[in-house]
Amino acid sequence: MYGLELAGEEDDFAAREAESAATGVEVVAPGLATARGVDADRAAHLAYTRRVVELVGHCDPDIEAARAIVEGATIDREGTVAVRARDVRALTGISTTDAERRLGSALVDRGFGVDLDDPDHELRVYFSEDACLVGWTVVEGVRGFGDRKPTDRPFFQPGSMAPMDARAFVNMAGAEPGARILDPMCGTGGVLLEAGLVGADVVGVDAQAKMARGAQVNVDHYVGSGAVIRGDATALPLCDDSMDGVVFDAPYGRQSKIAQHSLADLVGGALAEVHRVAPQCVMVADRSWVDEAEDAGWEVEQVFERRVHRSLVRYVHLLHRAD
């Protein structure tokens, strides 16, 4: 069994993203989940999972109960150790310094040397509401999202999606080495960057020549490969079943810049087209498009409502072919 340290404040959303790299994911306390199995390579690229630990045990959020787990566990590791404790979201008021000292002394009693700077093994202890997870770190998340802030990219336009969210969406759409991921309304290419950085082959389409050219510049800069073309999302120049997954951010609260389409026609047409070229899709919008998705042949697995700020809620639609 494994423990997952979740990021953000929306545990169900984080857990759903984690399912792209783990099996049997279950939220067990605020900020914490467990999983039966984990693909370590994919888990390292999750946006909303900071760390994965191989569980030694779990208990009530109590230092002595956690120490008892360490004292009684079978430990097949050799070398130096360090204990890192966290009061998740400051929910328990437990002293993490005391926890690290007590569990560290239990490991010393078992013959381990302590190295706080560069240990061979790191024991993580997570205290949250009604639960404590104790486990050895096996995956550290590869972060770096701040290095790709939209304003720092070679090509920037207002309204670009945050890299952390884009990474979560592409993971949910099946991005992994060798997978083919499409964004049919790619804008400045933020989705393409995150999909490409986890190893996917990326294709972007945008109705505006300026955006297609700029997105290609960004993809070339951060990923090094990938194709961006000018085109209509309702008439994609792609073969049936040529993609493995799709992510797109539908226009928010405004008419489409493709003059011949109303917003409803644009979104409905795009949903039909991506259904033709891929078996799964993550569509982000400022409203629910469930009826249109079902009309296009999609099965709506789930819709997450994620508040961005006071006046904007993002609806994240997880879509799969009904067949």
Please give the pLDDT value at position 160.
82
Contact 82, 123 (CB under 8 A): yes
Number of domains the chain contains: 2
The residue-averaged pLDDT of 229-233 equals 96
Give me the percent of the chain exceeding a pLDDT of 70: 97
* 244 and 165, same domain (yes or no): yes
Of the pLDDT bands very low, low, confident and very high (cuts 50, 70, 90), residue 254 is: low
| Tokens encoding 254 | 């405004």
Burial of 253 (0-12, 13-18, 19+ CB in 10 A): exposed
CB atoms inside a 10 Å sphere around CB 295: 12
pTM across the whole model = 0.94
* Among candidate residues 107, 140, 173, the one where a domain is terminated: 140
Contact 121, 97 (CB under 8 A): no
Range of the domain at 41: 2-140
For residue 143, pLDDT over 90 is answered with no
Which CATH number goes with the domain that contains 288? 3.40.50.150
Minimum mean pLDDT among 9-18, 32-41, 157-166, 214-223: which range?
A: 157-166
Which CATH number goes with the domain that contains 52? 3.30.2130.30
* 196 and 54, same domain (yes or no): no
The residue-averaged pLDDT of 31-35 equals 98
* 127 and 261, same domain (yes or no): no
Contact 175, 245 (CB under 8 A): yes
* 124 and 199, same domain (yes or no): no
* 136 and 260, same domain (yes or no): no
For 194-206, the pLDDT digits (tens) are 999 999 999 999 9
* 242 and 299, same domain (yes or no): yes
Please give the pLDDT value at position 256.
45
* 78 and 122, same domain (yes or no): yes
Contact 3, 131 (CB under 8 A): no
Contact 205, 273 (CB under 8 A): no
* 46 and 70, same domain (yes or no): yes
